[in-house]
């Protein structure tokens, strides 16, 4: 080769030499760029390839970032907030998201994840991961803003990162113990499940603490229940005495009167959206659009093509126990026919074909919920506004009971389900997915403290159940405290 080059003309020999140097430089620059991240993904593939998850779709012939591999999101280092296809061996290409939910992943959380130091979004919820989560692993991700490790079997205590701050993180439905290590932390799995799936060992609680804790629980329960019983009796009496007058008022005098709704999907004005439309509206379900997360799914803020702001609820059918069938969608269309100034309007839905999650599209409420308003220091609720909220919630609930055919029972009335529009008008919301969903867990249907005692015995919801919950809502409005309802982690208005 060298002998042939020597016999070439000078100009041609110079061009060939320059071209050879460029090829060698490019090759050397590419393979020496970010081999650590490529190696981490290769090890994860070998570690998790036996699980029936998206990891089985990670093919060596396809570049992890340019393909990309399912669940792996990459971006250029000069603009890491916007995901874009690039080559993982490129020095300007880095992994920013890893999403493998519900993938039956087993074993402990791999410490080699620390090699993906540019991660911004890590979602490993709904797997079978066990063991402890080292705090130093979380400190390896200085840019991590979204972390979801719920619905696994992690043990120990919930780790506290020293150098990382998250906009959204959730650890629920695991096997973490409290600081004293004698009981599980709140919102964890049943202790029987943890002992069956892990080597959980809890220290015995001090007998003195048990005795006094039991006494404290009795005192804490008796006093509020007495107040609740009195206020509920007053609310029921007021409801019965005023229901006929309120119905007459809205039928004959109120300019806000809405017609009765019959239970037929043919009258629905619900629009069926495609998954791509809602994907675009929510900026690819970006975490900056996240409004909240509950037992039945995650809610995002979205903007339709016509500029209308909406709330998009992505239903979690795998972990909530929802049964999505034709009856479900027929009843969703019935909810779409409801139009009332004190009820949140259901604007549309997406059936989630092709493996995508089904979604509901509702009006966007810019002032959040009553719970948000009670916890806010910037906009305190004055007494006239609290009275207006209580009255609006009562009118919306009365409409569902008295003017819909058949009557609609909310079943989960609480401060976080009473939303506030731009003018702080109370709007009854989150009743569609509760009423029509076929669920196997009562916790999805009701919230502790806001459901009437008869439901715990009969398992049936009636109009009286909503009246009891409304009495609890009045108690929260009067006291200004959130009482028994917890605020979701990582939510914003």
C-alpha dihedral, 144 to 148 to 153 to 159, nearest 10°: 40
Q: Is 370 exposed, middle or buried (0-12, 13-18, 19+ CB in 10 A)?
A: buried
8 Å CB contact between 72 and 98: yes
Which tokens hold the place of 13? Answer: 């020999």
Short-list 243, 218, 250, 168, CA closest to 467: 243
What strands lie across the sheet with 153-154, from one edge to the other?
106-108, 128-131, 153-154
Q: Which of 1, 467, 422 lies closest to 233, judged by CA?
A: 467
* Main-chain dihedrals φ then ψ at residue 169, nearest 5 degrees: -150, 140
**Which residues, 6 or more positions from 442, have their beta carbon under 8 angstroms from its beta carbon?**
459
Does 313 carry a binding-site annotation?
yes
- Known binding-site positions for ATP: 313
- Known binding-site positions: 313
């Amino acid at each position: 080769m060298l002998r042939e080059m020597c016999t070439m003309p000078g100009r041609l020999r110079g061009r060939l030499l320059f071209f050879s140097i460029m090829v060698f430089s490019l090759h050397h620059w590419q393979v020496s760029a970010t081999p650590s991240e490529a190696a981490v993904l290769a090890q994860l593939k070998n570690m998790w390839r036996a699980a029936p998850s998206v990891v089985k779709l990670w093919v060596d012939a396809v570049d992890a970032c340019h393909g990309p591999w399912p669940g792996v999101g990459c971006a250029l280092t000069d603009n890491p907030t916007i995901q874009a296809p690039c080559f993982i061996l490129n020095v300007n290409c880095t992994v920013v998201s890893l999403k493998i939910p519900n993938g039956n992943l087993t074993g402990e959380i791999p410490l080699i994840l620390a090699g993906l130091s540019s991660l911004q979004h890590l979602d490993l919820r709904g797997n079978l991961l066990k063991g402890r989560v080292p705090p130093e692993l979380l400190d390896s991700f200085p840019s991590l803003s979204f972390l979801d490790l719920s619905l696994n079997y992690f043990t120990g205590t919930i780790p506290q990162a020293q150098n990382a701050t998250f906009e959204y993180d959730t650890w629920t439905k695991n096997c973490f113990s409290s600081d004293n290590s004698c009981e599980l932390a709140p919102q964890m799995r049943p202790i029987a499940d943890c002992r069956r799936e892990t080597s959980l060992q809890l220290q015995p609680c001090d007998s003195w603490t048990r005795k006094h804790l039991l006494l404290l629980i009795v005192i804490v329960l008796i006093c509020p229940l007495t107040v609740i019983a009195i206020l509920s009796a007053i609310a029921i009496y007021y409801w019965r005495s005023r229901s006929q007058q309120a119905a007459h008022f809205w039928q004959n005098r109120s300019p806000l009167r809405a017609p009765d709704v019959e239970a037929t999907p043919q009258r629905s004005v619900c629009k069926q959206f495609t998954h791509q439309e809602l994907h675009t509206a929510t900026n690819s379900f970006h975490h900056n659009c996240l409004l909240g997360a509950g037992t039945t799914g995650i809610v995002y803020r979205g903007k339709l093509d016509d500029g209308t702001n909406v709330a998009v609820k992505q239903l979690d059918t795998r972990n909530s126990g929802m049964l999505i069938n034709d009856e479900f969608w027929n009843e969703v269309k019935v909810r779409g026919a409801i139009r009332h100034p004190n009820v949140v309007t259901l604007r549309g839905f997406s059936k989630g074909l092709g493996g995508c999650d089904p979604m509901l599209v509702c009006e966007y409420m810019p002032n959040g919920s009553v719970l948000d308003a009670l916890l806010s220091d910037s906009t305190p609720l004055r007494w006239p506004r609290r009275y207006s909220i209580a009255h609006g919630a009562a009118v919306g609930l009365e409409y569902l009971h008295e003017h819909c055919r058949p009557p609609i029972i909310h079943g989960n009335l609480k401060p976080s389900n009473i939303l506030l529009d731009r003018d702080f008008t109370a709007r009854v919301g989150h009743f569609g997915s509760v009423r029509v969903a076929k669920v196997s867990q009562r916790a999805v249907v009701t919230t502790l403290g806001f459901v009437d005692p008869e439901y715990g015995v009969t398992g049936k919801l009636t109009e009286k159940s909503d009246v009891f919950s409304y009495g609890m809502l009045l108690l929260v409005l009067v006291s200004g405290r959130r009482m028994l309802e917890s605020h979701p982690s990582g939510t914003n208005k």
